[in-house]
Structure 1
Amino acid sequence: MDNTRVRMLTEGAVAAALSLALSFLKVFQMPQGGSITLEMVPLLAFAAMRGVRAGAMCGATSGLLQMMLNGYVVNPVQAVLDYPLAFGLLALGGLQTRDLKGTALAMILAGLARLTCHVLSGVIFFASFAPEGSNVWVYSITYNATFLVPSLAISMLIALPLVRRLKGRI
């Protein structure tokens, strides 16, 4: 294995571990799960630096770690949707890293992909939490967006300058 691959593997392990650690520092906690944290910062930054493929592996690893240490699982499909898939899709933040605007748009796409996973999980597995008579899709989107949109915004405010400094060219 060459030094570049070892370095990328090491950076990915550090990003996944840092994401896990940041998931325990909650700014705000939702009643049925989900919280505003900085857990996306290292995953978005790593994806922007190393690309989608490496970012997907790093994100999925972080999701699996979070599921094992602090997860709430009611069904195997829900586990995949809420943890490795949702966090693995944050790799979309590495789609376009030529300039700051493209990187920001890629990170927004990544956040929307993660939101989609959690919304689907909410509709399929947690519909019973929706108030009686309400649309389960609207409830799931609203519930999940309440913590994911602020988390993404805060994470981007930190990740974008970090990537810009580390890459030195965007």
Structure 2
Amino acid sequence: MSKTYSKTRTLVECALMIALGTVLANIKIYELPNGGSITLFSMLPFIMISFRHGVKWGLFTGFVNSLLQMLLGFYAPPA
């Protein structure tokens, strides 16, 4: 018997993993002097989604997370 999930359930799981990935991305181990940082386990939720629902859903979730990260962490360069 194969497991089939409804699209709503998959979208809810992706949304929860995006939220978890955003929280984990804010926990920084080391912040680099010229920008950027090293985080612990911030990509793990997206790997889990890819394993559970396939590459398409994993890429979709990672893309939405990258848009959210850009909105939350955008700093205009000094002029």
Select the residue among 53, 56, 61 that pairs with 1:58. Answer: 61
Select the residue among 19, 22, 29 that pairs with 1:20. Answer: 22
Aligned CA distance change for structure 1 residues 50 and 28 (closer, same or farther; 3 Å) = same
Q: Which runs of 4+ in 1 moved over 4 A?
A: none
1:33 paired with 2:35, answer yes
Paired residue secondary structure (1:27) = strand
Name structure 1 gaps, 5 residues minimum.
Answer: 75-170
CA RMSD of aligned residues (A): 1.6
Q: Which is helix-richer, 1 or 2? A: 1
Paired residue secondary structure (1:18) = helix
**Structure 1 residue 35 displacement after superposition:** 1.6
Aligned length: 72
**Structure 1 residue 34 displacement after superposition:** 2.0
Paired residue secondary structure (2:6) = helix
Q: Which is strand-richer, 1 or 2? A: 2
TM-score, normalised with respect to structure 2: 0.80
Distance 1:42 1:13 in 2: 10
Name structure 2 gaps, 5 residues minimum.
Answer: none
Q: How much identity, in percent, do the aligned residues show?
A: 36
Distance 1:21 1:56 in 2: 19
Larger radius of gyration: 1
**Structure 1 residue 72 displacement after superposition:** 4.4
TM-score, normalised with respect to structure 1: 0.39
Deviations 1:70-95 (A, max 9, x none): 13466xxxxxxxxxxxxxxxxxxxxx
Matched ranges for 1:70-89 at <5 A:
70-72=73-75
